[in-house]
Amino acid sequence: MTTTQRVHWDLTYDVHLGATWGRFMAGLTEQQILANSCPECSRTFVPPQAYCESCFVRTDEWIELPAEGVVEAFTVAWQGFRGGPTPPYAIAGIRLDGASTLLMHYVGGLDLDDPSAVREQIGPGTRVRAVWAQERTGQILDITHFEKI
């Protein structure tokens, strides 16, 4: 007895970025990583956000952060998923210099063949720098990945 039947969804969406992320994406096309900060707690957000989630006030000042920072958390994926990148690949939470939040991104240029050797390559504390795409269209992958400095 068959107890399953297959259903398929094929839908395309437009996500409306709004002013704050729109400005962030525009910055990426100019090879700039734009952040903004809270007037009360002075924390600096990247990606930027319109409100501070701690102080419940509008953010105001915009600043450009250096495209360099430190890995605080990471993983290397050895198994992929449908629609995802081809494994293995490394992803990390990166504290850009001057940022109060982590920016998630790929870390490239690593030898990922040996699982026991990845930690020494991109363990927390590793300094990394953004590598820019040749063609930039205003998306997070305008930075193709970060690489070790």
Partner 1 sequence: MATRAVIGGAGITPATSPRKQTSSSLELIQEAVWGALQHSGAAPDSLDGIVIGNIDGFEGTVLGAKHLVRRLGLGTELPVSILNTGGTTGGNLVQVAARQVRAGDRRRVLVIGGPTFFGAQDLQSAINTNSPMIVEQPLGMGAYHMGAFYPSAYTERFGATVEDYAVSAVQDHEHASRNPYAHLRNTMTVDEVVGAKPLSYPLTMAMVCPVSTSANALLVCAEGTTSDLRPTPVLIKAFATSSDPYLGGGKNDFAAMENLAILAQKVYQLADVRDPREEIDVVEVFSPYAPMQPMQLEALGFAPPGGGIDLIRSGATRIDGDVPVNLSGGPLCTNAGVAGELAPLVYVALQLMGDAPEAMQVPGARRGLAHGTGGTFFQFENLAILERT
Contact residues for partner 1 (CB under 8 A)? 1, 3, 6-7, 9, 15, 17, 21, 45-47, 53, 72-85, 89, 91, 93, 101-106, 115, 118-119, 123-125, 139-141
Tokens representing residue 75 in the block: 């993983």
Q: Which is nearer to partner 1, 6 or 135 (CB)?
A: 6
Q: How many residues does the chain have?
A: 149
Q: Which is nearer to partner 1, 46 or 130 (CB)?
A: 46
Query: Minimum CB separation from partner 1 for residue 91, in Å?
Result: 6
Query: Minimum CB separation from partner 1 for residue 26, in Å?
Result: 14
**Count of Cβ atoms closer than 10 Å to residue 46 Cβ:** 23
Side-chain-side CA neighbours of residue 82 (13 Å): 0
Question: What's the distance, Cα to Cα, between the start and end of the chain in Å?
Answer: 60
Q: Which is nearer to partner 1, 63 or 88 (CB)?
A: 88
Asked if residue 17 lies in contact with residue 25, where contact means CB atoms within 8 angstroms, the answer is: yes
Handedness of CA 107, 21, 133, 68 (dihedral sign): negative
Query: Minimum CB separation from partner 1 for residue 146, in Å?
Result: 11
Q: Which is nearer to partner 1, 15 or 134 (CB)?
A: 15
Query: Minimum CB separation from partner 1 for residue 36, in Å?
Result: 14
